[in-house]
Each structure stands twice: as structure tokens, then as C-alpha cells.
Amino acid sequence: MSLLFLGNLGATEIVVILLFFLLPVVLWIFAIVDLIQRQFQDQTNKIVWALVILLVPFFGSILYFLVGRKGGVI
């Protein structure tokens, strides 16, 4: 399979690629960095959140930002 088709992409296709591939990776990285910097009262919670983020990257990251950040302090 050749990657030559990438030269024929328009602006819309590039935006779609960025939204579906780059955004989840950036969100995943931010979740991991935030988890590392945040202090939890119980280290078990930190380990569980790390597993959730690593095993279910996109949805785990969103879930962490919605629910998990409340359990720790920077």
C-alpha cells in the first residue's frame, strides 16, 4: 500500500484526519501528563485511572477529565 494518495487530500479531508486521529492522541497525552502531576489521597485511584487511560485511550481520557480529576490535587 502506498502513501502517495496523501498528496491529493483537500482541506476538508485534512481537518477530518486531524479530528479523528490527532485529537485523540493529544487528549491521551494530556490525560497522562495530568494524571502524573496530580496527587491523589489513595494511590490505588491513580493506578486505576492510569489503567483506564492506557487500556481505553480515547474514552478513558474523556472519562478521566470528566470524573477523575476531581479526586486529586495538583
Residue pLDDT, tens place only, 34-68: 999 999 888 999 999 999 999 998 899 999 999 98
What's phi and psi for 59, nearest 5 deg? Answer: -70, -35
> Is 51 inside a domain boundary?
yes
Count helices and strands in the chain by DSSP H and E runs: 4, 2
Nearest CA among 27, 22, 20 for reference residue 64:
27
> Is 32 inside a domain boundary?
yes
Assess contact for 73 and 39: CB atoms under 8 A.
yes
> Is 55 inside a domain boundary?
yes
* Segments forming the whole domain that contains residue 39: 25-74
Model confidence at 70, pLDDT cuts 50, 70, 90, reads: confident
Domain count, the chain: 1
Summary mean pLDDT of the chain = 86
> Is 68 inside a domain boundary?
yes
